Chains A and B, each alone.
Chain A
């Protein structure tokens, strides 16, 4: 199995703080790999480094290309869909315009998106800033899925959402994972267990554990690595 993402010895320093201190891991093609860890250990920074949104050193390969030092738009055009932690929909634009920005050539598949999220079709002319948190997350995920990207980087899709909505999003992501490789940052362990096959755990800017998702069934290990109960 080839790797969709290979990271070796990744270092990131932000405002004098050494956030990532030699992170190395890989994301096999076709898999869902969950990147876990306590708050502030560098999970989001890892995704941002892959996209070239923060300056980094070390080696990053994405879909077969060494993208170290590439500008963000060039990395993304390799075929990445990105769902940021804070959704980052463009609040002054309509739903339709937000989706239009994510179009790549003629491969945008609105039929699939509106089948997954019918609400986005009915609210196409509504400004994204007036949507609820759940609807904004729909839009953020829809932007990432619009072009059938081979690699999805998804940062805490369940953050701040009601359990029922989280379950609906998990269904959508499960379907998306059928034809894309996914690197998922997620605090909700039940979502991780449902979607992921592999886990990578970060602590203090370093990888402290790599393994199968079944490792999360060990409550002692979960408590030790994540500082939370592992019964989720």
Chain B
């Protein structure tokens, strides 16, 4: 029973990171119909930014301060890179989905190549404070502290995004744009600004996901292709949750991550087939697409 509870806790933490990775992707596709294959790159850059902040800030500031600043820095870098990508590369290509896919894949390949050239292909380690590595003892369970960090970030972002989308004018514009972009324009609203904002928010979430994944699940190791690996699960979550739905992404992220954790341990652990966890998420995707093509919370196409 204890193992099940620890697996569940770890699955919720992984789900929080999948949610962070998927929510921006979902909003970007839902509002702008842009299938952004550079989203994985935003995660990778977030992780590298985290590494740079954590290693270059003065050690006299202390590990906790540096890791907090590293997380904030990763979020800001993700937002900036995504905003610049939208303004320079995506904006001239609206209405050209094939070109958007090609340019975002190209950007990803090029920058990952540059990262390999600059940092090498060997994984780099983000120095984290000891308390992040240690577990907390609750009711007979030893729960990793880093998982609390991921879950906390996921919950804050979920509620923050929900509030932003429900209460602010730009949030309402984004929700309206997901439903009917043309009518938003016909009300005199410059949807282009909302597009840039969505990219910035999505990039911030990706940067945060990238650095948190590194700290929580990657043994503090940063590598050039880790964002692309995470992107696959983000796409699975987005499709299962329903394009453009933040709540859908949150629920789907939890379901996907828990399924992955359980199957990896209970089936993969006995059979020695560790990839069964990844395979189970793809099978779940196939089942959802068969039974409910628009996803759990998606709009009717």
Contact = CB atoms under 8 A, between A and B. Distances in A.
Interface in B179-234: 179-180, 182-191
Q: Classify chain B's interface size.
A: 10 to 19
A165 interface: no
A100 B175 contact: no
A189 B182 CA distance: 29
Interface in A58-83: 71-73, 76-77, 80, 82
Contacts, number: 56
Contacts of A76: 185-188
A92 B183 CA distance: 14
A102 interface: yes
Interface in B71-112: none
Nearest to A51: B186
Nearest to B183: A88
Contacts of B189: 73, 101
B183 A90 contact: yes
Given A73-B191, A101-B173, A90 B179 contact: yes
A132 B176 CA distance: 19
Contact of A53 (B175, B176, B185, B191): B185
Contact of A72 (B173, B178, B185): B185
A205 interface: no
A35 to B, nearest CB: 17
Interface in B31-46: none
Contact of B169 (A71, A77, A100): A100
B187 A92 contact: no
Nearest to B184: A101
A95 B179 CA distance: 15
Given A71-B185, A76-B185, A88-B186, 11 more contacts: A72-B182, A72-B185, A72-B186, A76-B188, A82-B186, A82-B187, A90-B183, A93-B176, A93-B179, A101-B187, A102-B187
Nearest 9 CB-CB pairings of A with B: A76-B188, A72-B185, A88-B183, A90-B176, A77-B188, A73-B190, A82-B186, A97-B172, A73-B188
Interface of A: 51, 53, 71-73, 76-77, 80, 82, 84, 88, 90-93, 97, 100-102, 104, 143
